[in-house]
Amino acid sequence: MKQKLLDTFKEKYGYDTGVNVYFAPGRVNLIGEHTDYNGGHVFPCALTIGTYAAAALREDRKLRFYSMNFEEQGITETSLDELTTDIKLGWTDYPRGIMWAFEGRGLKITKGMDIVIYGNIPNGSGLSSSASLEVLTGYMLSDLFGLNVSNKDLALIGQYSENNFNGCKCGIMDQFASAMGKKDNAIFLDCNTLEYEYAPVKLEDARIVVTNSMVKHSLVTSAYNDRRNESAEALRCLQTVLDIKSLGEINEAEFEANKHVIENEIARKRGKHAVYENQRTIKAVAALKNNDIVTFGKLMNESHDSLKNDYETSCEECDILAETARTIDGVIGSRITGGGFGGCTVSIVRNDAVEIFKEKIALVYKEKTGITPEFYVVDIGDGPHKL
């Protein structure tokens, strides 16, 4: 992969000296969806697929970007003097946003760069290609300019950039999972305090299988931001009777005892999901620590049902994938993962059932939607690094 990037870099820019190559992973969230911006817990892990960059410093302030995923777009040329939110340049807005956020923190970027990007996360799959690109850019800038930015700060800068430069009110989970990934471990993260612990994922007789619905979504949409606003309304109502700063601070019983103050039915459903999903995540991590994979799977299933019925971020295609998965012997749990409105499901499948799982899901899904899904039997990998 490194050689492929270096070859493309030389072909596009005409030189290959002083070029460094970097990687940052995508992520899959095992459980804890739409809890991050509600002050709850999440349980994601970094993947071994992600985004790569080959980059070299220039002597001027020019920025040149080329993506091997969007070859037809050619080289996008801009400069460090054009890092403003009112200039939109497609996919390059993500790395440009990180440069803008670095500058805003007083982390000076003094020279332009030539950059080649390649990602092997399927676009629109919900496996955080945007967060991966953000963390990758931050890690690359920190290395090229000797800025010594911590990986935790790379996650915070990525979230800030996506919120304020790209206009998506995402929580911290995606960037944190990419920046802080650790091989064979998921991250149990309290999004309220950013306290976290690594939990070994020991699936001795099972694999994590991600199924791509091939229905693409974009998180920079009104629907995602609507869910944030509706959850915030639920919180505001509960704050009239409870001394809380986030929905992640209460359990199911406290929610049920006070939900009557949330008069708007939609906001009540959004609040219910945030509270119950947070508690599910806490229980799921405890189950995993006790090697109780059956309970973990049951909680995954409940998570999907809540995302379908209460948070309404699933879609017909992902419902078909998750519900078909549950009918297959050897499937421990299955749910939609990521921001929703398309993308992927994540399933835990016993080793001897993986091939049957792929065959049956593909057959049923094609029959019902006319679409052929893609499957990724994934491994849990490390955070960003220089190759």
For domain 2-200, give its CATH number from 3.40.50.12160, 3.30.230.10, 3.40.50.1370, 3.40.50.2300: 3.30.230.10
* Token couple for 251: 């359990």
Q: What is the pLDDT of residue 217?
A: 59
- Give the least confident one: 6-10, 211-215, 336-340, 373-377: 336-340
Asked if pLDDT for residue 135 goes beyond 90, the answer is yes
CA distance 54 to 119: 12
Q: What is the pLDDT of residue 168?
A: 82
Q: Which helix (H) or strand (E) holds 336?
A: strand 331-337
Mean pLDDT calculated for residue range 343-370: 96
Say whether 174 is catalytic. yes
Q: What is the pLDDT of residue 221?
A: 64
Mean pLDDT calculated for residue range 277-305: 95
CA distance 142 to 57: 13
Using CB atoms within 10 A of its CB, is residue 218 exposed (0-12), middle (13-18) or buried (19+)?
A: middle
The residue with greater pLDDT, 129 or 230, is 230
Asked if pLDDT for residue 219 goes beyond 60, the answer is no
Q: What is the pLDDT of residue 87?
A: 83
Mean pLDDT calculated for residue range 46-73: 96
Strand partners, 117: 53, 67
> Which DSSP symbol is given to 115?
E
The mean of the pLDDT values for the chain is 94
CA distance 190 to 209: 25
pLDDT interval class at 85 (50, 70, 90): confident
Strand partners, 212: 344, 374
Q: What is the pLDDT of residue 220?
A: 43
CA distance 77 to 92: 10
Q: How do the domains of the chain map onto residue ranges?
A: 2-200
Q: What is the pLDDT of residue 340?
A: 83
CA angle 56, 173, 280 (to 5 degrees): 155
Report pTM.
Answer: 0.90
Phi, psi angle pair for 217, to nearest 5° = -135, 160
Question: What is residue 80's three-state secondary structure?
Answer: helix
Nearest to 343, CA basis, from 324, 366, 360, 319: 319
| Catalytic-labelled residue, pool 174, 292, 379, 382 | 174
pLDDT interval class at 302 (50, 70, 90): very high
Mean pLDDT calculated for residue range 231-257: 97
Asked if pLDDT for residue 242 goes beyond 50, the answer is yes
- Give the least confident one: 66-70, 79-83, 240-244, 341-345: 341-345
Mean pLDDT calculated for residue range 215-231: 78
pLDDT interval class at 366 (50, 70, 90): very high
The residue with greater pLDDT, 166 or 304, is 304
